[in-house]
Structure 1
């Protein structure tokens, strides 16, 4: 189909070419041969009267015209998907679809696991694809690469709708056999101890680590740095290390492992978690249903 002389089938090819900046990788994403993808690029160059992608050294870069087009093309495709392609009359029992969610392992364990169980019982054809937070998760929402973000409210984008899911406080967790620390701990003892903490793949500190670093005159003595919250209980087991953990997650692990939960001597504000989706997905009945299942699970956890 052509619209004002443009073959609309080429829009998807244009989007992937501008994202990958590589004909071979774009061909793989498009499930086309490299020659067919090169042909699509040639037709796009002809239509826009612009090279779009130019070779610079060993890589291809976008021309100024391509840079200007990239965001607009992606936004158009996301809008088409959210407002035209998604069929009305959503039925959980018959839906066949994948919902992609960016959420930390803390969110997955504390909230999403029960939501996933409930979703699976009512919508057996619905696949929930949970992805770990990566660099610039908002860009994945913008590009339609994921449908939902579940993350701290202070990090959500003001450009898309969001809703609070739940809030959680912090506790200190120690191995039950820890002989240095009992059921209470002072601030001085807290900072004198060695700690296990979390640092994400993007080298971004966790919220509690950021808070202590920026709001406290003292710094923790770090013994081990993990890439996930769920690793912390295993790393402190059999040691004198301490770990700051979300209360709900600490309680889940303490019910299964020899751990001691100690009130936190640092007044860290509760972390408010929010769920966010693309503006164009507001009318997506399936996505609204999934959000409600997540909200219900959070209220009941």
Structure 2
């Protein structure tokens, strides 16, 4: 179909070329041959009377005119997505969709994995793609390339959250046999022990306890630094190491592993976990229903921070 002589079938290819600036990646993304993408690029160049992509060494760069197309094309694609997500009957068990979610391992542990599993029983034709948080996540959100971004307040998304889903506290985790005796740990004992420190987001984003200790003027002995709390049990069991982690994850781990949870011996504010989505997803009934389920799973009495 053509509009003002423009083949609307080429709009998706144009958007992908503007985003990736690479014929091979666009071909892979759209499941087309490279020759088909090259043909589309030639047609787009002819229509706009502009090279659009110019080779620079082994790469391509956008022409000044091509850069002016990014925002309007992205807006059109976003509006088209919002349109196709609407239905006069709302949603049904047979609705087919794919939800692309950028998230941390933390979110999967405290409820996302369970939400995905249960949603598969409610709407079996909805599939999921889960991606880790990276330095490119904000861009994917801004372009409407993903349906949902789940991140804690320490991660700077660049825009206000659409919703705060829940709050979480901070706790210490230790081996039940070799960890501190009793159900508490003093500041002195906490600082005297060797620690496992978690740093998310390509090893650059730490849990909120980092800021707490920095404000108090303390430093701990970082014996092991890891990128995910999923390996904590293997590192803690049989040792005298201490890890500082969210209370929800600590509760989950102590149910299945010989570990014990201890109160974090410093004052702190609860960690807020937020949901972000592109404005084109406002009114997306499938995403709304999934978020309702995730929120329900995570709903439990708020864990109070120490004041």
TM-score, with normalisation over the residues of structure 2?
Answer: 0.89
Whole-Å Cα distance in 1 between the matches of residues 281 and 88 of structure 2? 12
Whole-Å Cα distance in 2 between the matches of residues 63 and 209 of structure 1? 46
Counterpart of 2:190 in structure 1 is 190
Change (3 A) 1:261 1:154: closer
Q: Mean alpha-carbon deviation: is it higher for 22-31 or for 261-270?
A: 22-31
Whole-Å Cα distance in 2 between the matches of residues 160 and 205 of structure 1? 19
Whole-Å Cα distance in 2 between the matches of residues 14 and 286 of structure 1? 27
Residues 257-279 of structure 1: CA distance to partner in whole angstroms, max 9, x if unpaired?
11111111122211011222221
* Structure-to-structure mapping, 1:132-147, within 5 angstroms: 132-147=132-147
SS of match in other structure, 1:254:
helix
Whole-Å Cα distance in 2 between the matches of residues 231 and 208 of structure 1? 19
Change (3 A) 1:136 1:35: closer
Whole-Å Cα distance in 2 between the matches of residues 238 and 21 of structure 1? 51
Counterpart of 2:222 in structure 1 is 222
**Displacement after TM superposition at 1:250 (Å):** 0.5
1:18 aligned onto 2:24 = no
Counterpart of 2:6 in structure 1 is 6
Change (3 A) 1:285 1:95: same
Counterpart of 2:304 in structure 1 is none
Whether the 8 Å CA contact 2:91–2:285 is kept in 1: the answer is no
Whether the 8 Å CA contact 1:161–1:279 is kept in 2: the answer is no
Change (3 A) 1:181 1:21: farther
* Structure-to-structure mapping, 1:209-248, within 5 angstroms: 209-212=209-212, 214-248=214-248
Whole-Å Cα distance in 2 between the matches of residues 164 and 184 of structure 1? 30
SS of match in other structure, 2:32:
coil
CA RMSD, 1 decimal: 2.2
Whether the 8 Å CA contact 2:170–2:209 is kept in 1: the answer is no
**Displacement after TM superposition at 1:209 (Å):** 4.8
**Displacement after TM superposition at 1:48 (Å):** 2.1
1:199 aligned onto 2:199 = yes
Counterpart of 2:120 in structure 1 is 120
**Displacement after TM superposition at 1:196 (Å):** 0.8
